[in-house]
Structure 1
């Protein structure tokens, strides 16, 4: 085996060993064994919510272990593949080994980024809210484009999603939308998306075809769990019901099933209109309220500006630009990571941005 290939294989092995060390495979196997014991209890489904949490956690922990175990096997198989191709002078086998090495390096890089998510709430599911900011109808249209981008990203990864609320703008697009991405580490992964996104394009809503700059804000919060102790007193909330509406204010329900909750001590207002019943909408709205109250609680505890929630101005908080005219480019203003295919990015291909931002954030934390 030539020196370059040997060095490359050594680097892959070292990266994998680092990942295995951070993941603590022995502890992971012990946790899986405990969850399997709990999942086998005959009375598990007496508490449906707890049963769902246990089985979901078990499935995801097993998948994490399987993923790193398979990578270990691929690294070992790759070394054998190179040795066989070299012994037999098989150029096609060598080319196949080179292709697998490139795939393996990419898969290890992706898993390595996951190990950087070590924050208190990083393993949680994510509650995402998108709001149109400056830019009128173009901003509302941009907000809808961003919502589709994140939902397509989730779809690409087979992550379930649940839309809680969509407030449509009059002419086109969204005033705001809130949705849940139900996957482990969704919060840790998407929290780097928080901030103001900027779109530059020829406005489809301008009769004179002028270039328009518009803004949309993205807020990402961790989903609240029972251990967070975020209590919402019934006396502290006002619940209003109304009829769900669609684009252009069109009524989409014949009953007042949509729910708006106002948390009177803080003034926080949340709403949900996408479930079938008023009861379901209220439960979903309470989940959003709890996530927002948790964010506020952590801000107060840490005494840090915007620790979990960033609601800065359009101009002072920009984190990514999407330029469709006069050239094609999407660029992260923190990491300088950029691609020249906005269409693909807006169709959910954002993993490169996420990985670069997660690495950048860890670097900032290390420096601090």
Structure 2
């Protein structure tokens, strides 16, 4: 059994780690931000500008969540310390067991919060645009792409993060050719950027009447949402605009007008689409947001490539072939970069991916430190 002294040391360690996290997150500033946002949210003309109103309410929800999370952990650490004193005074073994169990839970929660402090990149605090695209593997790959879209939307739902699907291109037989959606919460980009790369699925194909094992692939792209401070200007003559009728599974019409919009950036041949709004103008505006985000990510990648060239970094992209989902002949999901794995792919595909994301963020931070020291 763990001794009282060991439990006291464990609580002391957790208290120190939490204090470091509180300092990095700057809880005092968060409280100040909360007061300002609450004042802005109570303004009678707030919803005259819907885009700004959504930004204010989303930011307020995020700040409240962060403050409540930190304050909740602080209260639990203090309560654990008090409970340990009472258990020691009353010589109560069952109370000591309760303290030990709470310390285990606290350590997990504080480690999860510590990951947030590792998100310090230029765009990490941004909202995210995520694209899912089917790769090699035919209809199985299209089905896998749809499984991954659901996985990320379920992950966001579990956390209470608002999402919006901008475009969905369905495959002929089943699944998706591609889809793009936004995760509208601060730090969504920094959090999800470690999910970018090629995902691989191995299973008995439900589309093969001979029941053979099939390997299929899907690609995930994650880019930060562009803000007004970003220098991303696109001349009108560099964009080709096509309009078409939105469609759903089976070719059924979603709209009866040509409201869906496809933008092609001629210099780079980047193509984006949006069909979630009924208005052609709204779809064009949303597609432009996605296009600017992809151009910002391209600019960021070019700058990173220059730095890597100066360092002599010739390693392939860390995002490529980053995770395998095996459903047959055994059950396992494994990240090929971090070695993090689980034997429960059903839970993972239902959105339980926090362990993979946290391992990815820590792995990336270690790589950045190693690169800066070389």
TM normalised by structure 2 equals 0.90
User: What pairs with 1:261-272 in structure 2 (closer than 5 Å)?
Assistant: 261-272=263-274
> Structure 1 residues 58-67 or 284-293, which shifts more?
58-67
Offset from partner CA, 1:269-314 (integer Å, 9 cap, x none) = 111112222222112211111111111222333444999xxxxx99
Answering whether residue 325 of structure 2 is matched by residue 322 of structure 1, we say yes
Where 1:130 maps in the other structure, the secondary structure is strand
Aligned match for 2:81, one of 79, 82, 88 = 79
| Contact 2:4/2:96 (8 A) holds in 1 | no
Aligned match for 1:130, one of 106, 122, 132 = 132
Where 1:292 maps in the other structure, the secondary structure is helix
Offset of residue 33 of structure 1: 4.3
User: What pairs with 1:48-63 in structure 2 (closer than 5 Å)?
Assistant: 48-63=50-65
Unmatched segments (≥5 aa) in structure 1: 308-312
Equivalence for 2:312: none
TM-aligned CA distance change 1:349 to 1:225, over 3 Å: same
| Contact 1:123/1:185 (8 A) holds in 2 | yes
Answering whether residue 280 of structure 2 is matched by residue 257 of structure 1, we say no
| Contact 1:202/1:211 (8 A) holds in 2 | yes
User: What pairs with 1:134-213 in structure 2 (closer than 5 Å)?
Assistant: 134-213=136-215
Offset of residue 34 of structure 1: 4.4
Answering whether residue 294 of structure 2 is matched by residue 292 of structure 1, we say yes
User: What pairs with 1:31-46 in structure 2 (closer than 5 Å)?
Assistant: 31-36=33-38, 38-39=40-41, 44-46=46-48
| Contact 1:201/1:213 (8 A) holds in 2 | yes
Equivalence for 1:339: 342
| Contact 2:127/2:185 (8 A) holds in 1 | yes
TM normalised by structure 1 equals 0.92
Aligned match for 1:106, one of 97, 105, 108 = 108
> Structure 1 residues 17-26 or 254-263, which shifts more?
17-26
State how far apart, in whole Å, the 2-side matches of 1:306 and 1:351 are.
Answer: 29
| Contact 1:165/1:273 (8 A) holds in 2 | yes
TM-aligned CA distance change 1:354 to 1:304, over 3 Å: farther
| Contact 1:299/1:305 (8 A) holds in 2 | no
Answering whether residue 333 of structure 2 is matched by residue 349 of structure 1, we say no
Equivalence for 1:65: 67
Offset from partner CA, 1:216-249 (integer Å, 9 cap, x none) = 0000011111111322333322211111111233
Where 1:227 maps in the other structure, the secondary structure is coil
Runs of 4+ in 1 over 6 A off after TM superposition: none
Offset of residue 39 of structure 1: 4.8
Where 1:327 maps in the other structure, the secondary structure is coil
Where 1:228 maps in the other structure, the secondary structure is coil
State how far apart, in whole Å, the 2-side matches of 1:192 and 1:111 are.
Answer: 17
State how far apart, in whole Å, the 1-side matches of 2:325 and 2:351 are.
Answer: 13
Offset of residue 138 of structure 1: 0.7
Offset of residue 160 of structure 1: 1.0
Offset from partner CA, 1:81-131 (integer Å, 9 cap, x none) = 111122223344333323322221111111001111111111111100011
User: What pairs with 1:219-234 in structure 2 (closer than 5 Å)?
Assistant: 219-234=221-236
Unmatched segments (≥5 aa) in structure 2: 310-315
Where 1:164 maps in the other structure, the secondary structure is strand
TM-aligned CA distance change 1:306 to 1:322, over 3 Å: farther
Where 2:221 maps in the other structure, the secondary structure is strand
